[in-house]
Amino acid sequence: MKKVYLFCSAGMSTSMLANKMQAVADLHKLPIEVAAFSDTKMGQVIEEKHPDVILLGPQVKYRFNEFVSKYGNLGIPIQVIDATDYGLMNGERVLKFAIKLIKENK
């Protein structure tokens, strides 16, 4: 089971996107778990759940370099979700982006 975790400041809209992504994964019977968390819990989530990819909501894009310097050495891809895909809640495109990151990280 691959773990795709989304992080943002509050978690409301990111949770909606995570649900849409999970629905696409389930529809295609992909062994993927998608969940959303507050960016303040990133360290705890990484330590306890060991995600395969971390996606940041556009609203925390300004913290990208901070997260990469803190957690980039763990071998987990960290990227920012495309603002258009995020705004449109395009779960399929964001899920494909996450899968591409996982494959590139092998």
The model's pLDDT over 50-98, given as tens digits with 9 standing for 90+, comes to: 999 999 999 999 999 999 999 999 999 999 999 999 999 999 999 999 9
Query: Shortest CA distance to 98 belongs to which of 73, 72, 76, 67?
Result: 76
- The position carrying tokens 């696409």 is 24
Q: Does residue 64 have an active-site annotation? A: no
Residue with tokens 């300004």: 62
What is the CATH topology of the domain spanning 2-104?
Rossmann fold (3.40.50)
Kindly report the pTM of this predicted structure. 0.95
Q: Specify whether the CB–CB gap between 16 and 28 falls below 8 A.
A: no
Average pLDDT of the chain, as a whole number: 95
Would you state the pLDDT for residue 83?
A: 96
- The model's confidence at residue 23, banded by pLDDT at 50, 70 and 90, is very high
Catalytic position from the list 8, 17, 54, 76: 8
pLDDT of residue 27: 98
Which residue ranges make up each domain of the chain?
Answer: 2-104
pLDDT at residue 106 in the model: 80
